[in-house]
Amino acid sequence: MTQGIDIQNVHLTREGTAVFAGLNLQLRERRIGIVGRNGAGKSSLIRLMAGLAVPQSGRVTVEGVDVLKDRSGALDTIGILFQNPDHQIIFPAVIEEIAFGLEQKGLKRAAAQARARQVLEHHGRADWADRLSHALSQGQRQLLCLMAVLAMEPRWILFDEPFASLDMPTALAIEARIKALDQNVVLITHDPARVTGFDRIIWLEAGQVAADGPPEDVLPRYRAAMEDLARGMAC
């Protein structure tokens, strides 16, 4: 049984504005979607889960690991993909990008690069090893980021709007890869269709949980609320 992600009484303020005030969530399901408007706190939430945002109070654990205090343990338990792969890619060469995280986990450089080549081969991208990261397309850079995370074998993977700026074929290919993952997944999206088959949907509104449950319960309510807002904006 997974210990999951526990968010305990978290208070988070950014630039003087409260994002969360006493947020509590327990995440155990294999596939969890997070929906909500811009500014609802979605990205802040997964940054908390990944240990990239520091709350003023409260605690976040992933599989029992305090992701803020134990960064080494966090590498084994959780990975994150940002909306824009260019905010994530550090190294000019593909092989270096994938090997970096493995070196952070303690592998020697040669062993890390050998493992990185195995990852590329597994995904049918062995010919990418010596390619320049910036020369890849947007979708290819997104896949590179995913492979770099998968190489580290975390138990949870967080996705922040992974389909943004992708054309339809590339978005469908990324979606298929996400569906095939063995890891637990938390995915932020503006498109409810992307998470209709998930186990659980959390709808955030102004830093609070507006609804939480199976997609057949939450998504129709979310759609109806967004349609009401759209009609109001059109008046």
Contact 144, 136 (CB under 8 A): yes
Confidence check: pLDDT of 156 > 90: yes
Query: What digits encode the pLDDT tens for the residues 176-230?
Result: 989 999 999 999 998 888 999 999 999 999 999 999 999 999 999 999 999 988 8
d(C-alpha 171, C-alpha 142), whole Å: 10
pLDDT of residue 234: 66
Query: What digits encode the pLDDT tens for the residues 21-53?
Result: 999 999 999 999 999 998 899 999 999 999 999
Structure-block tokens of residue 11: 């208070």
pLDDT-wise least confident of 30-44, 111-125, 156-170: 156-170
Our CA dihedral for 38, 41, 45, 47, rounded to 10 degrees, sits at: 60
Higher-confidence residue of 166 and 111: namely 111
d(C-alpha 59, C-alpha 44), whole Å: 14
Q: 12 has which bridge partners?
A: 20
- Please identify, in words, the CATH class of the domain defined by 5-234: alpha beta
Contact 158, 46 (CB under 8 A): yes
d(C-alpha 170, C-alpha 176), whole Å: 10
Query: What digits encode the pLDDT tens for the residues 77-109?
Result: 999 999 889 989 999 999 999 999 999 999 999
Angle value at C-alpha 59, between 54 and 65, nearest 5 degrees: 100
**Residue 136: DSSP 8-state:** S
pLDDT-wise least confident of 124-133, 158-167, 190-199, 226-235: 226-235
Angle value at C-alpha 137, between 134 and 142, nearest 5 degrees: 85
- Per 3-state DSSP, the chain is made up of helix, strand and coil in percentages (nearest 5) of 40, 25, 30
Confidence check: pLDDT of 235 > 70: no
Name the band, by pLDDT with cuts 50, 70 and 90, for residue 1: low
d(C-alpha 5, C-alpha 38), whole Å: 23
Nearest to 181 by CA among 147, 137, 217: 147
Contact 28, 40 (CB under 8 A): no
d(C-alpha 59, C-alpha 68), whole Å: 9
d(C-alpha 119, C-alpha 180), whole Å: 16
pLDDT of residue 173: 85
pLDDT, mean over the chain: 93
pTM (global) more than 0.85: yes
Name the band, by pLDDT with cuts 50, 70 and 90, for residue 60: very high
Nearest to 13 by CA among 3, 23, 21: 21
Domain ranges of the chain: 5-234
**Residue 81: DSSP 8-state:** E
